Amino acid sequence: MNVLICEDDIDIQDLLEIIILDMGLNLFQCRDKDSLYKEINSQEINLIILDYWLKKKKADEILSELKKEHPEIPVILMSAIADLPEISKKLKADDYIKKPFNIEELKDKIKKHLKI
């Protein structure tokens, strides 16, 4: 199973890498919209973990495009913003996780969406 993390904070990206690899999953990483689409078009991606703020830009447009072009790929939206549940629902994300996140909760959400 292939997980793509789109996160521009290197420390969070490193933590997510440890978690995902520890779960025995394949990991792909990116930091912006362009590299996100490059990965999606070159790999079979089974789950995307998408940070809501990428380089000081909201991921609204990215998520909207993703759901139109790749509705089969579940997306977990990640952020520290207070209204994340509402934004996640509005943008049709499959799930969300608030930063700072609980590692076990994140693992449970990943397993749920990968059906493992």
Pure H helices in 1-116:
10-22, 33-42, 60-69, 84-90, 103-114
Question: How many residues comprise the chain?
Answer: 116
State the average pLDDT for the chain: 95
Sign of the C-alpha dihedral computed for residues 20, 3, 29 and 77 taken in this order = negative
**pLDDT cut 90: percent of the chain above it:** 91
Q: What is the pLDDT of residue 112?
A: 98
| Domain count of the fold of the chain | 1
Q: What's the token pair of residue 53?
A: 């703020």
User: pTM for the whole thing?
Assistant: 0.95
pLDDT in tens, 33-69: 889 999 999 999 999 999 999 887 888 989 999 999 9
What mean pLDDT do residues 3-24 have? 96
Q: Is 90's pLDDT higher than 90?
A: yes
Mean pLDDT of the region 21-38:
95
Confidence of residue 13 (pLDDT cuts 50, 70, 90): very high
Determine the structural domain holding residue 77 and report its residue range: 2-114
CATH code (residue 108): 3.40.50.2300
Rounded distance, CA 80 to CA 97, Å?
Answer: 9
